[in-house]
Amino acid sequence: MKLNILGCYAATPRSFTNPTSQVLEMKNQLFLIDCGEGTQVQLRRNKIKFSKIKHIFISHLHGDHCYGLVGLISTFRLLNRESELHVYGPRGIKEIITLQLKLSNSWTNYPLYFHELTSKEPQLIYEDEKVTVETIPLIHRIYTNGFLFKEKPGDRKLLINRAVEYNIDVSLYKSLKKGKDVVSETGELIPNQLVTDEPAPSKSYAYCSDTVFNQKMIPQISGTTVLYHESTFLEDKAGLAFPTKHSTAKEAALIAKEAGVKKLILGHYSTRYTNINLFREEAATIFPEVDLADDGKVFVFE
């Protein structure tokens, strides 16, 4: 599992920082999460192949999370994209994008599908044979969701020496990896656990963009491998967090601690701060396994 931070700052783009966008690589798939201005430039700068992005998840319709989307969709057209593109986001995302495409006479030459979200409860919005994606309802000034990406359990690990010892034909190895009991060449029923081991633990990633301190999400993200949680303010500006429906680094750490996640990544810093290391210092007093997002930073989780 790999996370590429394309942008992680709040509000307006600057010459040296970008608004929110990131790419999650999970089970050999690339998922684009939010799409602030400059996203396609950052994709190029970070050498991420446009053609591998088939699913885009937009948390909410504030500009620093979606103003780069129509540009990216249009660039896909100029690159002669043929494969489907799926966009998941709040109701209204289709109207925003299609109006711009209509008035500029720039309709895509590839299938473009919108999956508009309205539920205020967690909802499964994507599933294939390897990955699921659920919404995480957040509390912001407008309708907003985070997203929970989870790997499905992989195949069991085959213990070759044991399989040979129990006289199991090679043709049955695939069944063993799928957790099935098999019959040996001598006619003996071999329980699966005798010749296989548990699969590698499934990884998960919880993306929580703009939100006020919200303990309701804790049961859903409990035990998550990695939590990205917005930390727009430090405690010195805590008085601004609730009115603007944002969180502080300390509050993000409290969520991580109560949810028992393995790693916390902070982001969405207010551009009023010149030293983002202060965010880590503040959060670490509560949750030590904390790191900082920054534009161009890559996290790899083995």
Q: Which is catalytic among the residues 64, 128, 169, 236? A: 64
**Closest CA relative to residue 6, chosen from 57, 41, 52:** 41
C-alpha of 246 from chain center: 19
Q: Would residue 64 show up in a list of annotated catalytic residues for this protein?
A: yes
Between the two ends of the chain, the Cα-to-Cα distance in Å is 7
Separation between Cα atoms, residue 279 and residue 294, nearest integer Å: 12
Taking the CB of residue 41, how many other CB atoms lie within 10 A of it? 14
Burial of 284 (0-12, 13-18, 19+ CB in 10 A): middle
C-alpha of 204 from chain center: 9
Residue 160, classed as helix, strand or coil, is helix
Could you tell me whether strands 112-117 and 85-90 are parallel, antiparallel, or unpaired per DSSP bridges?
parallel
Separation between Cα atoms, residue 76 and residue 93, nearest integer Å: 18
The helices-and-strands tally (H runs, E runs) of the chain is 10, 18
- Active-site residue list: 64
